[in-house]
Chain A
Amino acid sequence: MRTRDRFRFVLQNMKKNKMRVSMTVLATAMGCAFLIVLASVGFGLQRSVVEEITGGRLLTEITIYAKQSEEGGQPLTIADIEYLNSVKHVKTVTRRQMFPAGVFLGQDDKQVQTQAIGFDAASEKKAGLELSEGRLPSKDNEIVIGYDLGQTLAGDQAAKTLINKELPLRIEAGEGTEGAEGELTEDAISATIVGITKKLSREWQKDHYLYMDFGLFTKLKADFLDGVAEGDKQLETYEVSVFADHVKYVVGIADTIRAEGYMNHSVANELDKVNVLFLIMKLGLILVGTIALLIASIGIYNTMTMAVTERSQDIGIMKAIGMHPKTVKSIFLIESSYIGLLGAIIGTIVSYGISGAVNVGLPIIIERFLKANPPEGLMFSYIPLGLTLLCVGISIAVAIMSGMRPAVRATQIDVLKALRRDL
């Protein structure tokens, strides 16, 4: 019997008992929707927590604090940076250093005091530093400003008007500089703003920094800060990050460099523990949700048993003519899996609706009735494609299992009893 004929036969039979089949599909849809919505809470909370942990940081990033030696933690040196760059699967190593004096950008009443950070533009580009406007410095005297510094400088105007604008940059006088402490150095360099960083993901974090390439950073130090020795072996006030080629190498790289004494921390490592906890939670929720589907499976079993009983004589006649037992079995299994599939499709659509409604409605309810503010960006329910596929798969599998026994029973229909109308 051709597959197309089997489906046609199944559909004809289902049409004969529309109400019963509809009720069974409804029960399956409810079970499937319950399973998806329940598990989606686990996925939603995990997503919110993970976003809270990463806070826009890259999962491939490993932050290095210091190098452990017999004398204790030692600051890193340029040689350490070179070593880190040589580790297998390391994409790049970024280094940021705080300028050892305050800087002033702009002039007269639009002069803003800030902190300058030196970085290697090429490494930052490789590490994936994203800007909201412009580009990274490529020439002398080019700078990038922090998003919030841009807002302050631009005032009423749009921050992007600052791009390619030349502004005087002065160093605050202090120990080792000319002039009295707290005053500005007389000479200024003219800095060109070529880029503005992206707004930081957390509301309470502000980026008021000024970023410059190490070329300008070193020049300023040499020109204005006499007392500070050039070419220090040990890095001053720094932030060093190693970026892996792929998130799967992060743990391996972290272990390798830790063995070499580099104290480090990675979000991926932290996330691993959180993810394990959420995995257990999600499995628990899926298990509870599956119980709802198992209850629906009783309905499918009942429907299929009724279908076999009602069609015993027809099946008996067809077996008497030459219908293969495998064909008999497949027809009933197609019917039960069809019920499972229909239920799963309807259940999935409904669960997406419920999930959307929960994400929109629950914060409003919490605010209005509980007088509390849910954390910004908190997602109560999230349905990834994998969850949908898993739940649809479980629904169909449960439906097939429910139809298995009635299908086997159909293959055992006694031809002679059917022909005698004894069934």
Chain B
Amino acid sequence: MIELQDVNHKFIIGKKGNERVVPVLHHINLKVNRGEIVSIVGRSGSGKSTLLNLISGYIRPSSGEIVVDGVPVTKFSEGEWADFRLRRFGFIFQSFQLIPSMTAFENMALPAVLSGMTERDRKQKTEAMMERLGIADYAGFYPGELSGGQQQRVSVGRALLLEPPIILADEPTGSLDSENEQNLLELILELNRESGITFLMITHDDKVASIGHRQISLVDGRINEGGVQHAHA
């Protein structure tokens, strides 16, 4: 489903004429199967976020190939990435990334608006999702008026609205208290079990990582072969 073939990435930093090349990822070979929950763990600076950003298409790899659902995406244009992202991926961010001037309902309905769904259909879909996530009473609230847990639910609802096959989560519980963290992890497991959604999660929290079918450890931009754990093995 998601396949990284010998992916390398390096950043070029510094001013022109005085640039410095910083290698971040080295020869990453990774395969995430349909319906899997894969946790990527590692210390800060190990390249976890860069790996997720490469798969999301926010940055392009310096070399190597990324294939999603059999489609090589490495050479996608900005426009192609936008369409692909909207249909195939759902995103859960650590800091929720909700638009402050939009209500919870508007934030959640955003992917449906971008996809060109009719007003009636998206209203129906968003209302159903809010109901499912238990935040229907907060539809008219702005993000600033919601608790962290409620905001994350809006963010999860937004990620799931178009029923994408893959959810990419960057420290999804990073801003949540332990109760909300537990609720979110249960929701992830439920969605995976019931809808077969694939989850690729970045975390440095062992508890969060432990819900994954597999844990992949990144050390200094390399997959630590010894660090791969199979939860259900």
Contacts and interface: CB of A to CB of B under 8 A. Distances in A.
B99 A321 contact: no
Contacts of B115: 1, 322
A71 interface: no
A27 B113 CA distance: 33
Interface string B73-92: 00000110011111101010
Interface in B80-118: 82-87, 89, 91, 93, 95, 97-99, 101, 110-111, 113-116, 118
A317 B155 CA distance: 11
Contact of A318 (B53, B93, B110, B118): B110
Contacts, number: 62
Given A320-B97, A321-B158, A416 B82 contact: no
Contacts of A318: 99, 110, 114
A320 B58 CA distance: 8
B101 A16 contact: yes
A181 interface: no
Contacts of B86: 321-323
B53 A321 contact: no
Interface string A324-340: 11110000000000000
Interface string A82-111: 000000000000000000000000000000
Interface string A284-317: 0000000000000000000000000000001001
Interface string A399-422: 000000000000100011001000
A221 B18 CA distance: 110
A22 to B, nearest CB: 19
A358 B128 CA distance: 63
A413 to B, nearest CB: 11
B126 to A, nearest CB: 14
B59 interface: yes
A318 B84 CA distance: 14
Contact of A323 (B53, B56, B114): B114
Contact of B114 (A12, A325, A327): A327
Contacts of B59: 416
B83 A1 contact: no
A416 B50 CA distance: 10
A314 B79 contact: no
A12 B103 CA distance: 13
A135 interface: no
A232 B78 CA distance: 90
Given A1-B113, A2-B116, A325-B82, A415 B58 contact: yes
12 contacts: A2-B116, A12-B101, A321-B86, A321-B110, A322-B82, A322-B87, A322-B89, A322-B111, A322-B115, A324-B83, A416-B58, A419-B95
